[in-house]
Chains A and B, each alone.
Chain A
Amino acid sequence: GQQLNQSPQSMFIQEGEDVSMNCTSSSIFNTWLWYKQDPGEGPVLLIALYKAGELTSNGRLTAQFGTTRKDSFLNISASIPSDVGIYFCAGSRNDYKLSFGAGTTVTVRA
């Protein structure tokens, strides 16, 4: 599927910091999803967004479905060490296939 433009590619976090990442696309998606993948594991669904403009929270995570339906962002508030991992955005249209971003690698700053 079409790759989404996800940024940043990587980031270093300090415990307690808020972090943000986003995804953009040149075309419209009906659903935006955010997954987290730990090394050697499959992606785990964090947040699913189904409506343009929707803002959804899951604990310290907040994600929004852009009003143009071509972008989404994910915020993590008050980060903790277990937030490290790779975060992927994904979008789908009507065929339920997912197009993935390249991922944002989150690492704890020493």
Chain B
Amino acid sequence: GAVVSQHPSRVICKSGTSVKIECRSLDFQATTMFWYRQFPKQSLMLMATSNEGSKATYEQGVEKDKFLINHASLTLSTLTVTSAHPEDSSFYICSASLDTQYFGPGTRLTVL
């Protein structure tokens, strides 16, 4: 149990375009999901907390207009990277909260 999926697993896009990443809890409902970013050889850094039916809470330094989060149902949260630039290239990982946090497999974003 407690399986979390992400789609796509990897995406390459041109600078200036927007990219949407989906996070789904497959076998449980999650009122709260989290979005992390991980750079090579570094730890996970929390970007935002996604709450079903309400606005996301962003960590300090994370631009809410650039990283749009929507948590429209108890099993789906989406992260949209708007007007992506090469510095946004990273590994984005979501987690869904049950008794603790269970992580998705991650999405590798490369912005050319």
A1-B46 contact, Cβ under 8 Å, with A31-B100, A96-B97? yes
B103 touches A44 (CB 8 A): yes
Interface centre among A31, A43, A90, A96 (most CB of B within 10 A): A43
Please report the C-alpha to C-alpha distance between residue A13 and residue B41 in the assembled complex, in whole angstroms. Answer: 19
Question: Contacts of A45 on B, CB cut-off 8 Å?
Answer: 100-103
Please report the C-alpha to C-alpha distance between residue A1 and residue B44 in the assembled complex, in whole angstroms. Answer: 10
B46 touches A43 (CB 8 A): no
Chain A residues within 8 Å of chain B by Cβ, number: 22
Q: Looking at chain A's contact residues, is the secondary structure mostly helix, strand, loop, or mixed? A: strand
B49 (CB) vs chain A CBs: closest residue: A97
Q: Mark B88-112, 1 if CB is under 8 A from A, else 0.
A: 0001010101011111111010000
B43 touches A42 (CB 8 A): no
Interface centre among A42, A48, A92 (most CB of B within 10 A): A42
Interface residues of B in 58-112 (CB under 8 A from A): 59, 91, 93, 95, 97, 99-106, 108
